[in-house]
């Protein structure tokens, strides 16, 4: 099977540069043909990008997460624009809204989000969207500002009604380890119903560890557990889900095989 991890914070799994490369190598050996490396801030992006330059299965997103709203960095827009010029940078992100942690204030988060949506439109890139207890505002903003290349709601945690509203826009839905949790009934109901051509899968490493590995630190190699769980609840083969989500990632992020 060919797998594609559409969202992994490789920099947060391990601090050591060599260990970060080992993480990508073990993933490749496990059939994970692609990983999108996500950093929450611009400085980390440039460090991690250089460290993983030789990792042929790693692609990159560049952006400022809502957690950084109070200190996005000097000239952060220009630095995103610099990052976009680098090979294998295929998206803006992650960006979005997080009302659970209450980073800064809502208006500042919204402004940061909108500016990155505008950058995605300007540079013809898709955007990777973080949503935590901010779904209503995110959908309202995306109705007006979604870039032409579309958006992906990463680590989806909403219900089927929300998923339907999202798919009315040019939005992909990415499922992570939380879909394997026993108490995630509404999420699992949505996961059963989302059309296969709108799905991506991710580890959200080192967070959202699949239930079977609870207590461990998440890594891209655990992506297969999400595929297994989706196979069970959707009554589709692991091979079918793996190949579809792999092809969806290539198409959505405009990656050549």
Model pLDDT for residues 36-66, shown as the tens digit of each residue: 999 999 999 999 999 999 999 999 999 999 9
Nearest-10 crossing angle of helices 185-193, 160-167: 40
Confidence of residue 257 (pLDDT cuts 50, 70, 90): confident
pLDDT greater than 90 at residue 228: yes
What the block records as the tokens of 138 is 């995110």
Nearest to 123 by CA among 75, 62, 36, 59: 62
- How far apart CA 48 and CA 38 sit, in angstroms, is 9
SS3 145: helix
Binned at pLDDT 50, 70 and 90, residue 225 comes out as: very high
Average pLDDT over residues 157-175: 97
Q: How far is residue 238 from each of residues 2, 110, 122, 197, 204, measured CA to CA in Å?
A: 11, 38, 37, 15, 20
1 and 223 in contact (C-beta within 8 Å)?
no
- What element of type H or E holds 135? helix 135-145
Q: Return d(Cα 247, Cα 243) in angstroms, integer.
A: 6
In a domain, 257, yes or no: no
- Check pLDDT > 90 for residue 130: yes
- CATH of residue 193's domain is 3.20.20.140
Strand partners, 128: 152
Biggest alpha carbon–alpha carbon distance for the chain: 49
Residue 93 belongs to some domain of the structure? yes
How far apart are the C-alpha atoms of 129 and 55, rounded to whole Å?
24
In this prediction, residue 170 has a pLDDT band, given cuts at 50, 70 and 90, of confident
Instruction: Give the residue carrying structure tokens 């601090």.
Output: 15
Is 243 within a domain? Answer: yes
- Which residues share a beta bridge with 4? 34
Q: Which of 231, 184, 179 is nearest to 210 (CA)?
A: 179
Please tell me the predicted confidence (pLDDT) of residue 102.
82
Give the per-residue pLDDT at 99: 96
For range 204-210, the mean pLDDT: 98
State pTM to two decimals: 0.97
**Residue 80 forms part of a structural domain:** yes
Total domains, the chain: 1
- pLDDT beyond 90 at 101: no
Share of the chain above pLDDT 70, in %: 100
Four-residue CA torsion sign, 12, 18, 19, 24: positive
Q: Which domain holds residue 119?
A: 3-252
The answer to the question of residue 223 being in a domain is yes
Please tell me the predicted confidence (pLDDT) of residue 124. Answer: 98
Across all residues in the chain, what is the average pLDDT?
97
């Amino acid at each position: 099977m060919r797998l594609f991890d559409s969202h992994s914070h490789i920099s947060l799994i391990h601090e050591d540069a060599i260990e970060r490369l080992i993480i990508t190598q073990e993933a490749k050996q496990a059939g994970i043909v692609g990983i999108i490396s996500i950093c929450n801030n611009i400085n980390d992006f440039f460090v991690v990008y250089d460290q993983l330059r030789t990792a042929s299965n790693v692609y990159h997103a560049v952006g400022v997460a809502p957690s950084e709203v109070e200190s996005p960095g000097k000239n952060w827009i220009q630095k995103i624009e610099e990052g976009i010029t680098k090979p294998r940078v295929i998206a803006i992100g992650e960006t979005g809204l997080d009302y659970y942690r209450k980073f800064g204030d809502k208006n500042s988060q919204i402004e940061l989000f909108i500016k990155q949506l505008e950058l995605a439109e300007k540079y013809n890139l898709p955007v990777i969207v973080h949503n935590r207890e901010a779904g209503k505002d995110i959908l309202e903003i995306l109705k007006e500002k979604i870039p032409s290349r579309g958006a992906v709601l990463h680590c989806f945690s909403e219900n089927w009604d929300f998923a339907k509203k999202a798919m009315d826009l040019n939005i992909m839905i990415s499922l992570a380890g939380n879909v394997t949790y026993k108490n995630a009934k509404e999420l699992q109901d949505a996961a059963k119903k989302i059309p296969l051509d709108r799905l991506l899968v991710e580890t959200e490493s080192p967070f959202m560890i699949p239930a079977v590995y609870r207590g461990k630190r998440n890594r891209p190699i655990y992506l297969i557990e999400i595929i297994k769980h989706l196979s069970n609840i959707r009554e589709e083969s692991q091979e079918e889900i793996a190949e579809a989500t792999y092809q969806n990632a290539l198409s959505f992020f405009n990656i050549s095989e």
